[in-house]
Amino acid sequence: SPLYRAFESFAGVGIFTAEGEDWAAKRSEVLGAFASAGLEPLAAASKRSASKLTAEIDAQLAMLPNVEKGATGRADGDGVEVDMLPRLQRATLRATFEYLAG
């Protein structure tokens, strides 16, 4: 994704930009750091990021024509496709930066 490529030029090839076996190796290297630091702050940052992502998606769905509220009260897009990868990548980076910045 363009967002990850831009991040890669800033941060280099690391756990957030690596893929496949390289990613798995980098992930195992950092697991120890997360275990010693505790995951509560990361979980809280992830929840805040997920809430922002959900609000962004709901706002975008509300602007689409012919999107009605279903029985669950949530928008049911009939045949509407949304590329979620960039949004999920931004949410992941948002939570990670918040966690690392304290």
Residues 61, 75 contacting (CB under 8 angstroms): yes
- pLDDT the model gives residue 22: 86
- pLDDT the model gives residue 53: 93
Contacts of 86 (CB under 8 A, 6+ apart): 1, 2, 3
Inform me whether the pLDDT recorded for 33 exceeds 80: no
Inform me whether the pLDDT recorded for 52 exceeds 80: yes
Residue 79 gets the label, from left (phi > 0), alpha (psi -120 to 50) or beta, of left
- pLDDT the model gives residue 99: 87
Residues 77, 61 contacting (CB under 8 angstroms): yes
As a whole-number percent, the residues of the chain with pLDDT over 70 amount to 72
